[in-house]
Amino acid sequence: MAKVLLIDDDTELTNLLGEYLSEEGFVVETTADGRVGVAEAMSSSTDLIVLDIMMPRMNGIEVLRKIRQVSEVPVLMLTARGDDIDRIAGLNLGADDYVSKPCSPGELAARIRAILRRSGRTERDGATDEIRTGELVLYPSKRRAEWRAAQLELTGTEFSLLEVLARSAGQLVSKQDISLRAFGKPLTAFDRRIDVHISSIRQKLGARPDGQPWIQAVRGRGYQLLEG
């Protein structure tokens, strides 16, 4: 069973990521205290650490430095977008990878799986990296999609959105939930990004036999991917 430790003082984000990773089959623990993270790194039961750089009292760079003094556990850094200095410092200190915030939970899970594979650590027995609904198949760790037995060409954003809907196929998902699960941040007023990308995904999926799109919109509420 792969155990992931999230070290971040942003409780809203860690709750979101923790819930998502738990659904993906990981065992998740969270802490907002870097000192606790260092102590946990000494435990052989921790398979991977997701570490935020910007934290009070002890920042992520210092936490990583102390972790590397006692453990080679894989560490995935969360960095501010465009913050090359911290990113380079983290990699030089032995971070295995980094993801810029805000990040989608799906991307984070894919990065975690890739690191676990490279490090030879295992995921939870029985966990599957495949989502199937009707003739749609998604492979989150590879960010690859198949539709009617053929590869479906999607942008990264389109894949994240379709993954959220596929995980809740047949159910209505609010745009706020879609934004949180796909992009890792709340939906802002007048943000039409989801609508634009959903429109593109609809075109790529084509129409149902009854002429309706596979992704249905419920005005003012959200979207629903219809099951096959």
Q: pLDDT tens-digit profile of 43-96?
A: 668 899 999 998 877 889 999 999 988 888 899 999 876 667 877 888 888 999
Domain with CATH 1.10.10.10 in the chain: 131-225
Contact 38, 9 (CB under 8 A): no
- Could you tell me which residue, 184 or 205, shows the higher pLDDT? 205
Tracing tokens 């971070």 back to the chain, one arrives at 95
Domain with CATH 3.40.50.2300 in the chain: 3-119
pLDDT at position 105 over 70: yes
Considering the chain, what percentage of its residues have pLDDT values greater than 70?
93
Domain 3-119 has CATH 3.40.50.2300: yes
Contact 194, 187 (CB under 8 A): yes
Residues 49 and 78: their CA atoms lie apart, in Å, by: 10
Tokens of 110: 């894919």
- Res 127: pLDDT: 46
Cis peptide before 56 (omega within 30 of 0): no
- Res 81: pLDDT: 66
Q: Which CATH architecture has domain 131-225?
A: Orthogonal Bundle (1.10)
Q: pLDDT tens-digit profile of 159-171?
A: 989 999 998 999 9
Return the minimum-mean-pLDDT range out of 86-90, 183-187, 192-196, 203-207.
183-187
Return the minimum-mean-pLDDT range out of 6-10, 20-24, 29-33.
20-24
pLDDT at position 112 over 50: yes
- Res 140: pLDDT: 82
